[in-house]
Amino acid sequence: MARVVTAIDIGSSKVCTLIGEVTDADVIRVVGIGMVPSRGVSHGVITNLEEATLAIGESIQKAERIAQQTVTRAYVAVGGPHISSMNKRGSAAVGKGDRPIDREDLQRALDAAQSMPVTHNRQIIYCAAREYTLDEDVTTKNPLGLLGYTLDVDAHIITANATSINNLANCIRRNHVDIIEYVPQPIASAQAVLSAEEMNDGVAVVDMGGETTSMIIYACGTPFDTHVYPLGGSHFTNDMVVGLHTPVTAAEEIKLRYGHVLTSAVGADEKIDISTFGATSLSTIQRRYVADIMGARMEDILDHFILRDIKRSGYDGLLAAGIVLTGGASQVQGAAELTSAVLQLPARVGVPRRLHGLSETINNPAYATAVGLLLHGMRRETIDKPIPAFESNPKTGSRLLQWLKNILPR
Ligand SMILES: Nc1ncnc2c1ncn2[C@@H]1O[C@H](COP(=O)(O)OP(=O)(O)OP(=O)(O)O)[C@@H](O)[C@H]1O
Ligand SMILES: [Mg+2]
């Protein structure tokens, strides 16, 4: 019998519930989609319990009606600028070299990595092994079955504000749905748009949503650095309200129809008619003016947030696979070209991996998080072996990265 996986992504612009059926061949088929505009959510965080509970309920019910099944448990994405990450090392004694390392040993090492004190209002929501070191000598992604004395793990840990998590949980539970697991939004989006090769070679996924933008760096197959910023597509719109003196609804429409972030790619003769505050008739402006406004905002996000944190991570110049943009706002024309020019890296817009079933609607960057959640849930319910580090090219370890850093020009 097919197992059912449900994913709920509560974004600043939309709430999306996806119901998938995992077939015996470990293929997921989307059987229910419930998308409703967000309410009671600001910058990815619940700010009005009643409103958010209702919006989440509507989204779940829509998906249930299409799938003709009731949702009782779900994987839930956690987004918002309260998310932060760190890399920690944990150690576990594994015997006297006389017995093979088992999954319990891996878990003990991971538990040790997470044993640092976190402030009372923080909660660890994600911890994944990056790589293991056996007896300070052998570095491996999967030490299961090896012999040794001490096992060290380098883990990527993501924490979130406990209050935000509690409020999120409250909204979901009020809809009679149990939470199976919280998945950080950047982790989910990355699962939907990255290939294993990109994860191995070094890549940053930038998910530009309605009111937040997240950035996650993957290297050697595993997440290394995670950030969420309080800036998104609504900032493009608000900039136009101010710059063009046009109401929000008109600014949003201009953004969707005529938006561009590369002024040089817009013809000097392209004109658009816009309504402005206080005027009784439409005004005509150059479309290039829209591109000036949107391009300035995009450059600001790329330069002051994305590039700054790539540099801080130490991966500046080492992201061979470049940048994968996703999220609804990444669809603005010129996004990949401008990103590539500002960051001096290859860039593409990532559409979520195509799933079976009702996948037409969700074949869009705005659904990267929801699709990634579904894929994450499927792995958990089928073949998942979450403890060993992501099986990647075992030769590309941190020492090679250090060596590359030393020889590459900065
Ligand atoms: N073609 C487009 N061009 C520019 N912007 C677009 C386009 N399509 C959608 N957007 C913008 O994408 C944003 C919504 O993106 P998305 O659905 O990923 O947000 P979200 O996941 O609900 O929010 P968040 O992740 O920030 O909490 C809106 O600001 C919308 O205007
Ligand atoms: Mg989002």
Q: Long-range contacts for 165-168 (Cβ within 8 Å, ≥24 apart)?
A: 165/78, 165/123, 165/125, 167/45, 167/46, 167/49, 168/10, 168/46, 168/76, 168/78
| Top mutation candidate among 9, 10, 13 for ligand 1, by most atoms within 8 Å of CB | 13
CA of 23 relative to ligand 1 center, distance in Å: 32
Cα–ligand 2 centroid distance for 35 (angstroms): 13
Ligand nearest to the CA of 210: 1
- DSSP per residue over 368-383, as a string? HHHHHHHHHHHHHHTT
Return the ligand 1 atom nearest residue 213 CA.
26
Kindly state if the Cβ of 113 falls inside 6 Å of ligand 1: no
| Dist. CA 208–CA 196, nearest whole Å | 22
Ligand 1 contacts CB of residue 44 (under 6 A)? yes
Nearest CA to ligand 1 atom 21: 11
Ligand 1 atom at minimal distance to the Cα of residue 212: 26
Ligand at shortest distance from the CA of 372? 2
For residue 2, the model assigns a pLDDT of: 75
- Four-way CATH pick for 84-160: 3.30.1490.110, 2.40.50.100, 3.60.15.10, 1.10.10.10: 3.30.1490.110
Tell me if residue 24 falls in helix, strand or coil: coil
**pLDDT for the residue numbered 387:** 52
Residue nearest to atom 11 of ligand 1 (CA): 329
Query: 12 CB less than 6 Å from ligand 1?
Result: yes
What is the Cα–Cα distance from 246 to 252, expressed in whole angstroms?
Answer: 10
Q: For residue 317, which phi and psi values (nearest 5 degrees)?
A: 85, -5
Which numbered atom of ligand 1 lies nearest the CA of 79?
27
Give distance in angstroms: CA of 225 to centre of ligand 2. Answer: 18
Q: What pLDDT is recorded for position 166?
A: 97
- pLDDT at res. 401: 47
Is the CB of residue 262 below 6 angstroms from any atom belonging to ligand 1?
no
CA dist 398 and 253 (Å) reads 47
Query: Which atom of ligand 1 is found nearest the CA of 44?
Result: 27
The pLDDT, as a whole number, for residue 116 is 83
Series of mean pLDDT values for 10-residue runs along the chain (410 residues): 91 98 87 98 97 98 97 98 97 91 96 90 96 95 95 98 98 98 98 97 98 98 98 98 96 97 96 91 94 98 98 95 98 98 98 89 96 95 59 40 47
Using alpha carbons, list the distances in angstroms from residue 376 to 116, 169, 185, 239. 27, 19, 11, 36
Rounded to the nearest angstrom, the distance between the alpha carbon of 330 and the centre of ligand 1 is 8
Q: Is 256 in the pocket of ligand 1 (CB under 6 A)?
A: yes
